[in-house]
Each structure stands twice: as C-alpha cells, then as structure tokens.
Amino acid sequence: MHASHDWPLGLAHFTCIGVPPVDLVRLAGRTGCASVGLRLYPAFPGAPFYALPPGSDAFREMRRALADEGMRVYDIEFVTLGEDFVPASLAGILEAAAGLGARRLSVCGDDPDRPRLVARFAELCDLAAGFGMGIDLECMAWRQVASLPDAVRVVEAAGRPNGGVLVDALHLSRTGGSPDDVRAVPPGLVRHAQLCDAPAQVPGSTAAIIQEARAGRLSPGDGALPLAALVAALPPRAVLSIEVPITGTVSPEAHIQANLAAARRLLAD
C-alpha cells in the first residue's frame, strides 16, 4: 500500500476540459499533479476534445511541454463502444497517445449485442497492444455496461492481458456499486481510479444522473460517497486521478489546487 499521503494524483482532462492540452500540462506541473489524462476523442457527440495528430505542430509542442514539466500522460479518453464501433478507426488516436507516452485508453460499453461488444473490446485491446497501451472499461448507469461486475465480465470474456476496468467513484455509486465490489475484482484488472464526491441521494432520472456526472460532481470530502473505503479497496499500484469538472467562475488553477488539497486530506485520513 502507498503511504497514503504521498499517493501520486493525476489530473483528468474533464476536470478543466476548456484548458487545451499544452496548458493543461503546464497547470498540472505548477499544481503538483503526477500525470494528466487527455480528451483526444469526443465522449459523446458534440463533446469537447482536442486532436493531436502525430507529426503535427500541436503534437510536437505537447511533447516539448511534457518534457519541460517532467509530466507524463497516463490515459486518453473517451470512446464509446456502440453498435457501429470500428476498432481500427482508433489507430491514429492510439498512435498519438503512445507517442505522448500514454498507457491506457478509457472506454464505455454501449452495444446491446454482448458477444459483439466482447469481440470488439478484444480487438481494440489487440490494436492498443501494438502501441504498448491497454484499454480500461468504465461502467455508467446509462450505458449497456452499467455496473462494475458487468465491466469485469466483459474484460474477462475478452481475455486480453492489457484489458482492465476503470473505477470512477461517482459511476460506482450511481450503478449501485460499493468498495466491496472493487475489492472483489480479480487481481490485475483495476489499474486506474477517478476520485470525486457527490451527495448520498441518487438523482431520480437517467437524465439527472447524466447531468450530475457531467456538471454536478463535488470535490473529495464535500459529499457522502465512501471515498476512504474506496481508496482502501484499491490495489496498491492503481493510478489515482481527480475528475471533478469545473463549474462557476473559479480559475482552473484554483480549482485544481482545491481538489488536490481535498484529495490529499482524504488520503491522509
């Protein structure tokens, strides 16, 4: 187990999605983050993301910024595996991600045809393996893969060594999960967890659950989620990152600092 107070904390891009990647790296360096995640793919139609094609000026500038700050990219987001998903379509994004040093790509499962979803997840894992990367499946209440145990079933059915599950504190709670579910995940599958907080009360509709996930998350410790128990249930090498989308008029830097401080208080306790 980490000495909890020095557990490195990453920064999910969604925490301040309006900040472009190079600026995000500089902010992460200034505020003491250990790594960043990048949104290189739209999480849903119309969602913000940033393209960094390999060999482009933007890609080269990003590599320089990472070197300057001594910062690493841990993960890339966020792809929905729906009915029409074609794994090969992500080759360019995986190439860019690998060129920036990323280790994982986060996805959710939204294909009602389970054998096809498993087959495509496996195919995507194989594609990512060629770039030295892995794939993490995240459960969400409004997707076909709507619980952590179900995400584990898909990953195990795909049977790829670089497949895993991503544990998001909010999605775990809103899909009826608990830290005990995290503890029950087979060894090696949980490599990454995202921290945020929320009220105990589950929103009353799917639309409200989606809205909460995108714009209603609270800083760690400001809600009622069992975050200390969740962290205790994680494997010792899991990467922890902050995912609390910014709202209101606070500056991105102040927002990141406040959330890092809140997470460190949680880990110290």
What percentage of the chain has pLDDT greater than the value 90?
Answer: 95
**Best CA proximity match to 11, nearest among 258, 265, 268:** 258
Residue 269 confidence (pLDDT) above 60: yes
pLDDT digits over 236-253, tens only?
A: 999 999 999 999 899 999
The residue-averaged pLDDT of 221-227 equals: 98
pLDDT given at position 44: 86
Compute how many other C-beta atoms are within 10 angstroms of the C-beta atom of residue 191.
21
pLDDT given at position 3: 52
According to DSSP, residue 186 is labeled P
pLDDT digits over 170-216, tens only?
A: 999 999 999 999 999 999 999 999 999 999 999 999 999 999 999 99
Residue 31 confidence (pLDDT) above 70: yes
233 touches 29 (CB < 8 A): no
Indicate whether this model's pTM tops 0.85. Answer: yes
The residue-averaged pLDDT of 7-29 equals: 97
pLDDT digits over 90-112, tens only?
A: 999 999 999 999 999 999 999 99
The residue-averaged pLDDT of 79-97 equals: 97
pLDDT given at position 187: 94
Residue 4 confidence (pLDDT) above 80: no
The residue-averaged pLDDT of 125-141 equals: 98
Compute how many other C-beta atoms are within 10 angstroms of the C-beta atom of residue 138.
22
What torsion do the CA atoms of 25, 26, 32, 37 make, to the nearest 10 degrees?
-10
**Best CA proximity match to 18, nearest among 263, 259, 253:** 253
Which residues, 6 or more positions from 140, have their beta carbon under 8 angstroms from its beta carbon? 108, 146, 171, 175, 213
Residue 1 confidence (pLDDT) above 70: no
pLDDT given at position 243: 98
What torsion do the CA atoms of 159, 163, 169, 170 make, to the nearest 10 degrees?
-80
